[in-house]
Amino acid sequence: MHLLRRALGLPYKSGYYYDHPRASPERGDGTFTVDNGNVMFTPEPKDGSRRLPPAEHVLSSVKSGKVNCDSSRFPEFAGLDERPKFQGGVVHTADRQIFKETFAAEGDEGALSVSLAEDVWYLLTEELSIWAVLRLEIALEVLLIVAFALALTVVSVVEHGARDGVLRDKFLLSLTSVRLSTDSIFGWQARSASSGYEVFVLAIQGWTHWLLLSVAGAVIVARALRPLQQVVFNPDCILTDEEVNVRLQIIRPAKVDLLNVTINLQVFVTGGRVHQLSLTNGIEGYGAWFGFAPMNIRHKIDENSPLRDDYPGGKQGVYFIRVSLSATDSNGNPVNAFATYYHPDSFFMGMSDFRAAWAQRGIMPPRILRGVRWKDQMRRIRDRSTGKGTEGAGLPTWLVNVDNTEGFEPIPGDSPV
């Protein structure tokens, strides 16, 4: 079972890492201790000896100091300060991958598996790209044709002895059994009637091919029914002395409507604590949202906010802000999205390897920005000669500048913190 899971790229390993997973895949038993709040691991190889020094666990603390998340403080991000337009989807997709890569599982990885069949189904319908699935289908078809051509050749040799061209003839016969419409091809036809054994092999091939096509069709249908991405969060969010502001835009706004929109906004602070950030006016979402207008998700920093300076226990050290949205589109399909925005003084941004993972992708991480505000997007259509509105000219009456969706500008008299 381990060999099969390994061949399919599924989790199968057990034991604890002796060294960094990139440096050595060696695993084994060991002893865990806690030293000054850090989890330490001392390996115990099979020969009974103890390898020193022990490897530190990833939870050892890292502190970066108060800095701005730009190339002036983080040289890895040189040339990445100016984002390309509409990078939100790329940024948050990369963030999910990098965040998962930040942690590596040890111990019995297979313990989290429900079953091999379910893991394989998830691999086919979720993990593999559509091109990888198509390549796999073509490869299995070729393997099926070749394998049964060899089987038919063996049957023919056993029954009638070796003869010239038998492999070619049986290969073409195997081809005709995988859904070609006729048993004869122009320029070729079987020279002898099929024996009972050959018919049996062809029947097995036909059933196997039918099963392969059924699974491939089910995989394609399952992938086709997956919800499409309908919304995208801005690659950065804004934190001022008055509020938190996260902006979201509907993809295909002329065609997609969001219904029963629920929004969850949270801040993760020092010590791994999580605080709920209430939305302005106490709302929890919207009954419906549609059109080109952006959605600004706001939290007001008032006397009840965990982000105020005089919060009980002291001002909270922000690690990151996370927002999620759940809704239903006008066709009844689920819509789900989330985004994470990192503070430059956070635990994650303090790790050089974390920053390097972003730099290698050529992307600035999703940031919590200070001292700026979103650019305006909406303006009324006005007559150029009079400067007045265009009432009576018909719809539309408003313009939405999509180029400003992710744009921000400095707040006069304010500075980043």
Distance CA 378, CA 399 (A): 6
Of 78, 162, 121, the C-alpha closest to 362 is 78
The fold of 235-373 is Immunoglobulin-like (2.60.40)
In single-letter form, the type of residue at position 116 comes to L
Of 59, 56, 69, the C-alpha closest to 17 is 56
Distance CA 86, CA 231 (A): 12
Of 283, 297, 388, 392, the C-alpha closest to 339 is 297
Entry field: residues in the chain: 417
53 upstream amide cis, omega within 30 of 0: yes
pTM of the predicted structure, to 2 decimals: 0.78
Phi, psi of 266, rounded to the nearest 5 degrees: -135, 155
Neighbours of 48 (CB within 10 A): 6
Structure tokens given for 243: 């509020």
Phi, psi of 221, rounded to the nearest 5 degrees: -65, -45
Domain ranges of the chain: 2-61+88-127, 130-224, 235-373
Contact at 8 Å (CB) between 360 and 341?
no
Helix, coil or strand: residue 221 = helix
Which residues lie across from 35 on neighbouring strands? Answer: 38
Which residues lie across from 324 on neighbouring strands? Answer: 264, 338
Q: What is the Cα 310 distance to its own chain's centre?
A: 38
Per-residue pLDDT of the chain (417 residues; tens, 9 = 90+): 678 887 888 878 888 887 888 887 788 888 888 887 788 888 776 555 544 444 333 332 333 333 357 788 888 898 888 888 888 889 999 999 998 888 888 888 878 888 888 999 999 998 888 899 999 999 999 999 999 999 999 998 888 888 888 888 888 888 877 755 444 444 555 556 677 888 889 889 889 999 999 999 999 999 888 888 999 999 999 998 899 999 999 999 989 999 999 999 999 998 888 999 999 988 999 999 998 889 999 999 998 899 988 777 656 788 999 999 999 998 899 999 999 999 988 888 888 999 999 999 999 999 999 889 999 988 889 988 888 888 888 888 889 998 888 988 888 766 554
Distance CA 112, CA 12 (A): 10
- Provide the pLDDT for residue 52: 44
Distance CA 247, CA 296 (A): 5
Residue with tokens 């073509």: 138
Structure tokens given for 179: 């859904």
- Provide the pLDDT for residue 135: 93
Distance CA 111, CA 12 (A): 9
| HSE toward the beta carbon, residue 71, CA cutoff 13 A | 12
Maximal C-alpha separation, the chain: 97
84 upstream amide cis, omega within 30 of 0: no
Of 138, 106, 270, 280, the C-alpha closest to 213 is 138
Provide the 8-state DSSP code for 37. T
Contact at 8 Å (CB) between 268 and 239?
no
Of 159, 167, 230, 144, the C-alpha closest to 197 is 159
Of 245, 272, 239, the C-alpha closest to 346 is 272
Residue with tokens 């999910």: 96
Of 281, 352, 389, the C-alpha closest to 76 is 352
